[in-house]
Amino acid sequence: MTITEYKKSLPKATLNMLNKSDSDRIEFIKKPKFIKHPKAIKLFDKLNVLMNEPQKDRIRSMLLVGDSNNGKTAMLKKYAEMNISEDKEIEDEAFLRKIEHCMYIQAPNRADLHDLYNSMFQWFFVPYRKDEPISERERKMKHYCDINQVKIIVIDEIQGALIGSITKQMEFMSGIKNLSNVLKIPIVLVGTPKGVSLVSADHQLKSRFVPTKINKWNLDEDYISLLYAIEMTLPLKKPSCIYEDEKLYTEILELSDGLIGDIMTICNLLAIKAIESGKEKIDRSMLKTIEYVPAHDREGIVYADEI
């Protein structure tokens, strides 16, 4: 790929950074960004199917499972962002109301149903009483979801509910199931494999929350397309074509253990090294110079650097 072809392929945001200072380009690399990749597209399609189902009793929901740092939260936050619309009934542009059809919240760090409801009320920015009975909170939540046109609820980090007695865990999950019955909209529970036990112990929960796993990345076309998409976000003055260097992209996959968060971290560190070294392109030799602890070594203590 020639430099001219390379520049033509870059998105505008990346292209505009090429003539900036080294420090500005490094800051741009460090900023969080969402990469639209095949796994995200597949997940969005599945969520759209759920969200567009008509309200009904025992509506189908989802249990989304994936390892830490495998992109679950980034994808779900992006999905929530994609499902914001404007209230067309308000004609005055100065008073346009944003309608968020996807409620995204994090589960409490213990099996406490009241804490979960507190987070939901906070999402709506409405006052609430902490001592209200659950039945009253269900009624109010139904009201707020209806008038705000919420079509799907995402509860992230569900494994936090494992902190608590078995009885508390069962009450918590039963409360979520009851809430789904009241709202008649799908609820997506998201977490690491540890959280599966919250659903698997109850037959009704297992049938309601369809388990879906986000696999790690493998050496295939989807992975290559991911690397291409990542490179398009890196403001380097020369093309690296990391998606064509088999030894390089294989080693990146092995170091990252197939986790997208680690894949992006490695690529970002390599890009920063390319800028700092003046080479302006990534090459395999840089892998030995970046301060990165391989994913498979984190269970023990491995130092990324020494002083």
Task: Return the pLDDT at 61.
Answer: 93
CB 165 within 8 A of CB 197: no
CA distance 47 to 34: 18
Please report the pLDDT score of residue 299 as a whole number: 56
Q: In the predicted model, is pLDDT for residue 302 greater than 70?
A: no
Is 70 exceeded by the pLDDT of residue 295?
no
Average pLDDT over residues 200-224: 89
In percent, how much of the chain has pLDDT > 90? 72
88 has pLDDT over 90 = no
Work out whether the CA dihedral 200, 204, 207, 210 comes out positive or negative.
Answer: negative
Instruction: Give the amino acid at 125.
Output: F
Please tell me the predicted confidence (pLDDT) of residue 190: 95
Backbone angles phi, psi at 263, to 5 degrees: -60, -45
pLDDT at 92 over 90: no
Task: Write phi, then psi, for 67 (nearest 5 degrees).
Answer: -65, 160
- pLDDT on residue 87: 65
229-263 pLDDT, tens per residue? 999 999 999 999 999 999 999 999 999 999 999 99
Please check the confidence at residue 70 and state whether its pLDDT lies above 60.
yes
List the Cα angle 96/99/105 in 5-degree steps. 135
The confidence score (pLDDT) of residue 95 equals: 45
- Measure the N-to-C terminal CA separation of the chain; round to a whole number of Å: 40
The whole-number pLDDT of residue 292 equals 84
- pLDDT at residue number 206: 84
Query: CATH number of the domain at 38-213, please?
Result: 3.40.50.300
Query: Hey, where are the domains in the chain?
Result: 3-33+233-293, 38-213
Residue 89 has a pLDDT of 54
